[in-house]
Amino acid sequence: MDHARLKRPDLSEARIRGRYAAERRFRFYGQFAVGLAIAMLGVLLFSVCSKGYSAFYRAEIALDIMLDPAVITPDGKSDADTLASADYQGLVKEALKAQFPEVTSRGDRKNLFNLVSNGAGNSVRQAVLADPGLIGSTQRIWVVAADDMDMLAKGFIKRDLPESERVVSDTQIGWYDKLDAAGQLRTAFNAVFLSAGDSREPEQAGILGALMGSIFTMLVTVLLALPLGVMSAIYLEEFAPKNRVTEIIEVNINNLAAVPSIVFGLLGLAVLLGVFGLPRSAPLVGGMVLALMTLPTIIIATRAALKAVPPSIREAAYGIGASPLQVVSHHVLPLATPGIMTGAIIGLARALGESAPLLMIGMVAFIVDVPHWPTDPATVLPVQIYLWADSPERAFIEKTSAGIMVLLAFLISMNAIAIFVRRKFERRW
Amino acid sequence: MNAISPTLAKMHGRKVTVHYGSKQALFDVDLDVPERMVTALIGPSGCGKSTFLRCLNRMNDVIDGCKVGGEITLDGQDIYDPKLDVVMLRARIGMVFQKPNPFPKSIYDNVAYGPRIHGMAGTKGELDEIVRGSLEKAGLWKEVKERLDQPGTGLSGGQQQRLCIARAIAVSPEVILMDEPCSALDPIATAKIEELIDELRENFTIVIVTHSMQQAARVSQKTAFFHLGQLIEWGDTEQIFTSPKDERTQGYITGRFG
Amino acid sequence: MVRQRGFLGFHRFWVSLLPGLIFAGLALAALPAAARDQIHIVGSSTVYPFSTAVAEHFSQTGFKAPVVESTGTGGGLKLFCAGVGESFPDIANASRPIKEGEVADCQKNGVSEIVEVEIGYDGIVLASAKNAPPRALGIRDLYLALAKDVPVNGVLLANPYSLWSEINPALPAQKIEVLGPPPTSGTRDAFLELVMEKACHAFPEIAAIPDDKLRKAKCQTLREDGAYIDAGENDNLIVQKLSANAAAFGVLGYSFLADNQDLLQGSTMDGVAPSEDNIINGSYEVARKLYIYVKKQHRAIVPGLAEFVAEFVSERASGPQGYLADKGMVPMPIAEHQQVAAAVLAALPVASTLGASLDLGASSVLLPWVAGGLLLLLSSVGFQLGRRRAFASVRGATRQLHSLPGYHGIFVGLGAFLPGALALLLGAVLASFLPGDARTGHDVIWAAIAAATLGAAAIGLAWAQRHVSANFRARNAVERMTMVLLIVCSLLSILTTVGIVLSLVFEAMRFFAQVSVFEFLFGLQWSPQMAIRADQVGQSGAFGAIPVFAGTLLITVIAMVVAVPVGLMSAIYLSDYASRRTRAWAKPLIEILAGIPTVVYGFFAALTVAPLIRGFGASIGLDVASESALAAGLVMGVMIIPFISSLSDDVMNAVPQAMRDGAFALGATKSETIRQVVVPAALPGIMGGVLLAVSRAIGETMIVVMAAGLTANLTANPLEAVTTVTVQIVTLLVGDQEFDSPKTLAAFALGLLLFIITLILNIVALRIVKKYREQYE
């Protein structure tokens, strides 16, 4: 009976040391894993930011522009329409010619004009519209440089390469240096990037169109998914009898939450576009598809939030004679709101970054105009990023990364709101 | 207070205090645990008896924000000495919990787990021997010898608790701490465990926390009464139950509160 | 005091429905295709950059900028030919002339007047990294390097060449590796026609083949053993990949070479350098014409159509010095350009009466809104009436009412709203299905719908109002209605699933009518390169899904190899070891990884990770494909880390503390407790979580679309390029497909299979997790 007594734990130093070494190793693996994950995040963010920060400023060139009345107000009228539609780009070209009178050949002139952006005239237009009194005088106006000059200014085009291997020629670099030496070159904040729609010219391309598209799409998604999801969750959690049907609904919702997003795109393509004939490229349709995708997430989050409300509250309300719906709408739902909101925001953040289903329903399109309504054609931030990644111009690489930065900023602020809501209203029972 | 001579006591507690965050749970408890005897800790809920028990093998280390003060010794050695290894300590002081908590492993593996991590058995045969011995001591061998490879969670509540005791004694601890080991069990299972405790007294020093005064009277030789985080009175069980010195003890025992 | 908070709370509940109602209004407004004032352009990805440039310039002339979608030539012409009216595109971009079959299809759908506009040339170049030695290729070399079967000593054999030097001793002894567009691309068509076909006819062995179709097939089938790599429609990614890999060639449009002269060089083709001049004068022969097709009938539908085309053919756009030349298009010689421009302007005169069509739809766009607004107004009037009547019925003594007056109000309001909304919805659906020219009848139809809506609402209101009395159980009635609403909402998810299944099954059935289920499920070859168009013969069209799924599996496995250990160990470290402060910042940081959009990961994988792996492989003498499964898998693994870590955190937390205490009390160290007690106990839960992660990895799209390959290789080597199910779906649906070809339908078949597989995985995983949870509850 006493034989086990013979055995004593081996508490020798060597063995304990071995066990602690294992302990340290294990701990190290853990630290390593966490470090690795965070390092990956760091590398990713760094590679995006280091490529993208330069898109937030741009090169500008100062030109002495003769605001020729013969060009701006050809028929003597100076109403707003005439002023707005004048050929300001032509004035910019004239100014360039005046600055470099030695350039005469057709081909060289074309190269010269390529120093400034196709949209350079806009700056002149703004100046004239702001003060029509300037017409007739010569003004020094900062206009946008072309994307190649922009790349040169930012050092992305290497001067030491042989001329034939560069997109900019030696003569262009010569002009560039001359302008630079004369103080006619600067880099300034790129407001266009945050205020314009897409463009084929990298220096005129902006993220606002996609941003508005994302906002409209999200709006539709919220308006659809939130009420439907919450109501559906209320029924399932509070009222549904436990039977086969509700069980199937439950299993079904859990499954939908894990169905690949692209399948929802196929659904949108076949049903919303195919059967109902809704317009292509519209945030309305995108929002509907994303709402279907987000619905299960919201239902699950809402049910969890409802479940977290202790039964005692319900019993108390029933005790005073409230009807089941009153119990839910007066007590349970208000108490569960913070939880529902956090779940909903997280679901929406996921929808915001989603692009695969939108590819299926024509939201990959070149759209210059900033959309003003959910049925206007639009694209969304992640798809815009995908599109820019596809463009041949080098300058779009920085735009792509900058677009990612905007998207991430948008996402992080949404998540921050979710965390704030959770911290602020979280209740422990 | 009839303090027994330090040489006879297995463990000493001196001015033991415990804080959970800013809340103090134990106030200057002085208590000695005599060797090869059963010491029962009794008192109303929240009186600090479980807290004190968990101090004895430093299980409070696991809880965030828990601070232990004062001195507790095992064979004269301070168990809160920073140099002392808590793993070694716990190998010497086993514990059985309120709710049976077998690992989700086979019965065999449950008992063999301790000996394995402490490298107590060189061969499979030795390990078998330890498992068998422990289960026998826990009075469970006959009931489970045919199904050692079945999950420990499949046993009845009383069997599970005896399995946990077997698991604890498999590492041959010097002291076994029991935290209300019978509170989740029916009277028959309780009786078996009590019987077992009585047998274990031969080889082990046992400290048991219990809610039931009858149980304390049945199984223990020494009894300590806790109230509101203070040790009110302790001494021979018989004396505590027949002629308590403090009127609070008296009140509790006679069922006026608690 | 009696109509207090209780009622208000309930009222709020109904008010919260308002967004849904607003939305319904919105959807109604969209259902009858609203008048369009933007030109809609679809089609070729090659013409896309030029059309967009013209679109942008056009928008500066005061018109709204056209919307340009890149759908591939075939896909674009399909949409273009689908019909006349606002919901169909006005212009199709094409990198090849329209086919007879497509014209016939157009005719069938009433698209009878199509104007073809030549806009310029596009050269196809063989480009390589700038730092690679310049190479002179011939089309013969390319044919021998890339054809699936080549003539060797008089007989056609499977292509035996693996080094360039084996084909032509003048070429370096380097591995043949050509990145090129996938079968869905117009650039690929042109490459096959201009290079492969031309070169192969020079061989007598080929010329000897009597059957035209078979000959063409032999000429145009590219090898599938990895020497030719389908590199996706994203030419910019090809540029990046080429510059990172000196050994590879890329088949690109000339514009990409022009724009990336500092990164790439173009190989001379039979001694002629790819340059603008050489393309125009015809000496560089690997070039093709580009077109746009304009639907003349749409001049009356969209303002500015003729003006847009005029801009397109203007000298400042497509002329020799025009801005399209800056974008990389090779312009027509000046005489030819003038001729084309004149012809187009004659066919599509710029009308002076534009905008007339604009006003037509204005009122009909408003009508649904008016109807919806009036309905809401009537409902709120009903609410007020009902409440008043309830008050009046007991002369203000509300205690005598069974239900609070507010409930009577809601009852009457809903009585008006529900029938009205139903009428509106039915009307809208019917209207959208009405045949013929909806435009003219639009106003009438919508006026009728609006009248019906209001009528139904008024009747409902009157009916409900009659019910209001002291004893009427308005609250119960309202609650019943609410309950019905809640039930309908929860059925929506079922409806979604049914919708998914139906839409997938329906299209998949059509696919399986052409390709046998058995072949699809068990076929070992996937090359949907053919059966694309009647004339594009050849190419062994094979629809065996096994290699596609094998590729998916390979990438998933790599992702799991990264994500499971890292995710699990992070969860363990953060929950059991890290100090509270570390946890407070490390946990959210890791969770950010889950929130990063997948398109960002795709970009990261394609442009950062893949070149890195390739470079590393090269430095230790390993040959890594540019689109290796490894790169996509690794990045996908990073994406999945937080998924695994938060799931395992959950399940390990569910392991009772008593279990840990038990181990600690025996003297186990922390790691012993975790490894031997907690993890085994949590294993079923962890397994469930991993399965869910697997299902997510299988369905992930953007990462693989951007970073994985398109060729279906049946391989287990992570350094090779493989393709995945989702990549194939995207490529098949966004490429140059022909209508109703097995190709397009194959996408739905793949989608169905994907859905079924993830469904099974999810059901199993969720069941395991649920069982596990119950064990400890």
| Whether A220 contacts chain C with CB within 8 A | yes
User: Between chains, do A362 and C69 touch, taking CB under 8 Å as contact?
Assistant: yes
pLDDT digits (tens, 9 = 90+) for A105-131: 777 787 888 888 888 888 888 888 888
Percentage, residues of chain C above pLDDT 70: 86
Confidence band of B221 (pLDDT split at 50, 70, 90): very high
Which residue has better confidence, C262 or C663? C663
| Whether B57 contacts chain A with CB within 8 A | no
Structure tokens at B43: 């008192």
CA dist list (Å): A222 to A229, A298, A338: 10, 10, 16
Judge contact between C554 and C704, C-beta under 8 A. no
Residue with tokens 């080889």: B203
- Of A203, A205, A261, A253, nearest in space to A232 by CA: A253
Distance, in Å, from the CA atom of A58 to the CA atom of C149, rounded to the nearest integer, reads 53
Nearest-CB residue to A392 (from C9, C256, C262):
C256
C-beta neighbour count of C633 within 10 angstroms:
29
SS (H, E, C) C708-755: CCCCCCCCCCCCCECCCHHHHHHHHHHCCCCCCCHHHHHHHHHHHHHH
Distance, in Å, from the CA atom of C153 to the CA atom of C143, rounded to the nearest integer, reads 16
pLDDT averaged over every residue in chain C:
80
Percentage, residues of chain C above pLDDT 90: 8
Show which of residues 454-493 on chain C sit within 8 Å of chain B, judged by CB atoms: none
Predicted local confidence at residue B206, as pLDDT: 93
What separation, in Å, do the N-terminal and C-terminal C-alpha atoms of chain A show? 51
- What order do you get walking across the sheet with B23-34 strand by strand? B23-34, B9-20, B66-74, B77-78
Predicted local confidence at residue A28, as pLDDT: 94
Q: Name the least confident of A200-209, B221-230, C357-366.
A: C357-366
| Whether B117 contacts chain A with CB within 8 A | yes
SS (H, E, C) C112-125: CCEEEEEEEEEEEE
Judge contact between C700 and C636, C-beta under 8 A. yes
Distance, in Å, from the CA atom of B150 to the CA atom of B155, rounded to the nearest integer, reads 9
Which residue has better confidence, C711 or C577? C577
Distance, in Å, from the CA atom of C86 to the CA atom of C40, rounded to the nearest integer, reads 9
Percentage, residues of chain A above pLDDT 70: 96
| Whether B86 contacts chain A with CB within 8 A | no
CA distance A17 to chain B (A): 11
Residue with tokens 């997790």: C769
Distance, in Å, from the CA atom of B76 to the CA atom of B8, rounded to the nearest integer, reads 11
Nearest-CB residue to A5 (from B85, B92, B172):
B172
Rounded to 5 degrees, φ, ψ at C4 are -90, -150
| pLDDT > 80? residue A323 | no
Residues in chain B with CB shorter than 8 Å from the CB of A1 are 133, 136-137
User: Between chains, do C667 and B97 touch, taking CB under 8 Å as contact?
Assistant: no
Show which of residues 247-276 on chain A sit within 8 Å of chain C, judged by CB atoms: 248-249, 251-256, 258-264, 266-267, 269-271, 274, 276
- Of C390, C292, C215, C265, nearest in space to C43 by CA: C292
Distance, in Å, from the CA atom of A411 to the CA atom of A222, rounded to the nearest integer, reads 15
User: Between chains, do B130 and A7 touch, taking CB under 8 Å as contact?
Assistant: yes
| pLDDT > 90? residue A404 | yes
Predicted local confidence at residue A33, as pLDDT: 94
CA dist list (Å): A100 to A89, A127, A145, B52, C279: 17, 23, 16, 93, 32
| pLDDT > 70? residue B164 | yes
Confidence band of A34 (pLDDT split at 50, 70, 90): very high
Structure tokens at A162: 């042989």
Predicted local confidence at residue C436, as pLDDT: 47
CA distance B4 to chain C (A): 28
Averaged pLDDT, A50-67 = 88
CA distance C657 to chain B (A): 9
User: Which residues of C617-693 form beta strands (DSSP E)?
Assistant: none
Judge contact between B12 and B72, C-beta under 8 A. yes
| pLDDT > 80? residue C11 | no
Predicted local confidence at residue A210, as pLDDT: 93
| pLDDT > 70? residue C596 | yes
Which residues make beta-bridge pairs with A144?
A: A60
Which residues make beta-bridge pairs with C264?
A: C129
Q: Are strands B23-34 and B9-20 parallel, antiparallel or unpaired?
A: antiparallel
Distance, in Å, from the CA atom of B171 to the CA atom of A13, rounded to the nearest integer, reads 17
Predicted local confidence at residue C531, as pLDDT: 38
User: Between chains, do A199 and C642 touch, taking CB under 8 Å as contact?
Assistant: no
CA distance A188 to chain C (A): 24
Which residue has better confidence, C668 or C131? C668
Would you call C87 helix, strand, or coil by DSSP?
A: coil
| pLDDT > 60? residue A429 | no
Confidence band of C441 (pLDDT split at 50, 70, 90): low
Distance, in Å, from the CA atom of C145 to the CA atom of C275, rounded to the nearest integer, reads 24
Judge contact between C589 and C578, C-beta under 8 A. no
Structure tokens at C60: 């500066």
Please state the ipTM of this predicted complex.
0.87
Distance, in Å, from the CA atom of C564 to the CA atom of A259, rounded to the nearest integer, reads 21
- Of C663, C715, C406, nearest in space to C554 by CA: C715
Structural domain spans, chain A: 11-52, 56-189, 208-425
Predicted local confidence at residue A5, as pLDDT: 47
pLDDT digits (tens, 9 = 90+) for A201-225: 888 888 999 999 999 999 889 888 9
Averaged pLDDT, A82-102 = 83
User: Between chains, do A375 and C6 touch, taking CB under 8 Å as contact?
Assistant: no
Reported as type and span, the H/E element at residue C559 is: helix C546-572
Structure tokens at C341: 């421009």
Predicted local confidence at residue A211, as pLDDT: 92
Nearest-CB residue to C677 (from B62, B88, B103):
B103
Most B CBs within 10 A among C583, C652, C664, C666, hence the mutation to make, goes to C666
| pLDDT > 70? residue C25 | no
Averaged pLDDT, C323-337 = 81
pLDDT digits (tens, 9 = 90+) for A329-362: 878 888 888 888 888 888 888 899 998 899 888 8
Predicted local confidence at residue C776, as pLDDT: 66
* Dihedral angle, C-alpha A300, A301, A302, A303, nearest 10 °: 50
| pLDDT > 70? residue C357 | no
| Whether B75 contacts chain A with CB within 8 A | no
Most C CBs within 10 A among A16, A27, A34, A160, hence the mutation to make, goes to A34
User: Which residues of C404-511 form beta strands (DSSP E)?
Assistant: none
- Of C555, C543, C760, nearest in space to C637 by CA: C555
Residue with tokens 């299944």: C501
C-beta neighbour count of C80 within 10 angstroms:
30
Distance, in Å, from the CA atom of C141 to the CA atom of C135, rounded to the nearest integer, reads 12
Amino acid at C618: A
Q: Which residues does C469 contact at the CB level (< 8 Å), separation at least 6? A: C393
Judge contact between A48 and C596, C-beta under 8 A. no
Reported as type and span, the H/E element at residue C757 is: helix C742-775
Q: Which residues does C248 contact at the CB level (< 8 Å), separation at least 6? A: C128, C129, C177, C178, C179, C241, C242, C626
Q: Are strands C155-158 and C114-129 parallel, antiparallel or unpaired?
A: unpaired
Predicted local confidence at residue C30, as pLDDT: 52
Nearest-CB residue to B171 (from A9, A16, A19):
A9
Which domains are delineated in chain B?
Answer: 6-102+173-253 (3.40.50.300)
Most C CBs within 10 A among B56, B58, B84, B87, hence the mutation to make, goes to B87
A208-425: which CATH architecture?
Answer: Orthogonal Bundle (1.10)
Q: Which residues does C684 contact at the CB level (< 8 Å), separation at least 6? A: C768, C769, C771, C772, C775
Predicted local confidence at residue C21, as pLDDT: 62
User: Between chains, do A326 and C566 touch, taking CB under 8 Å as contact?
Assistant: no
Residues in chain C with CB shorter than 8 Å from the CB of A263 are 500, 504, 699, 751, 754-755
| pLDDT > 70? residue C452 | yes
Predicted local confidence at residue C12, as pLDDT: 53
Predicted local confidence at residue C8, as pLDDT: 41
User: Between chains, do C676 and B57 touch, taking CB under 8 Å as contact?
Assistant: no
Judge contact between C344 and C309, C-beta under 8 A. yes
Predicted local confidence at residue C466, as pLDDT: 87
**Number of residue pairs across A and C with CB atoms under 8 Å?**
390
- Of C563, C548, C575, nearest in space to C601 by CA: C563
pTM for the full predicted model: 0.80
Supply the DSSP symbol for B3: P
Predicted local confidence at residue B257, as pLDDT: 65
Predicted local confidence at residue C355, as pLDDT: 42
pLDDT averaged over every residue in chain A:
84
Residue with tokens 């994988």: C605
Judge contact between C294 and C309, C-beta under 8 A. yes
pLDDT digits (tens, 9 = 90+) for C499-523: 999 888 988 888 888 888 888 888 8
Judge contact between A185 and A179, C-beta under 8 A. yes
Confidence band of A94 (pLDDT split at 50, 70, 90): confident
Q: Angle CA(C334)–CA(C338)–CA(C339) in degrees, nearest 5?
A: 120
Nearest residue in chain A measured CA to CA from B130: A4
| pLDDT > 50? residue B6 | no
> How many residues belong to chain B?
258
